[in-house]
Structure 1
Amino acid sequence: MIIRILGEGQYDVSDDALPRLNELDAQVEAAVEAGDVEAFATALGALLVGVRTAGVAHPADSLDESDLILPPDDATIDEVRELLGGDGLIPG
């Protein structure tokens, strides 16, 4: 799976990493629903670190389409609220 972090680049992430990323995504979603800005910032940061850690940088010159697009570190809670679907940022 190719996951793009806006403003940063793409990462190749194995399907084995998705359960943990879904746990982190659930924390982002819960913080957004609660309107807890501090918990949101912590959870989003953890999710992005999780992608960076589990993934391998996708070649920058590649034109491959991303399977998922995540907001950048500095995204606001309101920006992410607009991006959330029924399955969070990472479906599954």
Structure 2
Amino acid sequence: MIIRILGEGQFDVADEHLDRLNELDEAVEAAVEADDVATFTPALEALLDAVRSHASPHAPDALDASDLILPPADADIAEVREMLADDGLIPG
């Protein structure tokens, strides 16, 4: 799966890591729904850090579409609220 973090680039993430990413995504979604900025910021950081640590950079010269797009690390809660789908940032 190709995941783009806005402002950073694309990452190749193996399917075996998706369950953990979904757990972290649920924490982000819960913080957004509760309008809890204090919880939101570390939850988003944890999600993005997990993508970075469990993925390899996608070839920068490849023109492949991203399967998922995640907000940048400096996104605020309102920006992420607009990006959320019914399944969170990471469907599944």
Partner of 2:38: 38
> Please, what TM-score do these two structures have when normalized by structure 1?
0.99
TM-score by length of 2: 0.99
Q: Which amino acid aligns with 1:32?
A: V
Indicate the residue corresponding to 1:52 in structure 2: 52
Does residue 12 in structure 1 map to residue 7 in structure 2? no
Structure 2 spans left out of the alignment, 5+ residues: none
- 2:63 corresponds to: 63
- Partner of 2:19, secondary structure, is helix
Alpha-carbon distance between aligned partners in 2 of 1:87 and 1:33, rounded to the nearest angstrom: 13
Aligned counterparts of 1:10 and 1:63: Cα–Cα separation in 2 = 10
Matched, 1:24 2:21: no
Distance 1:38 1:4 in 2: 25
Give structure 1 regions of 4+ aligned residues with deviation exceeding 3 angstroms: none
- Separation (CA, whole Å) in 2 of partners of 1:3 and 1:32: 21
Percent sequence identity over matched residues?
67
Gaps of 5+ in 1: none
Task: Give the Å deviation of 1:38.
Answer: 1.4
Across the two proteins, how many residue pairs are aligned to each other?
92
Over the aligned positions, Cα root-mean-square deviation in angstroms equals 0.4
Distance 1:88 1:49 in 2: 17
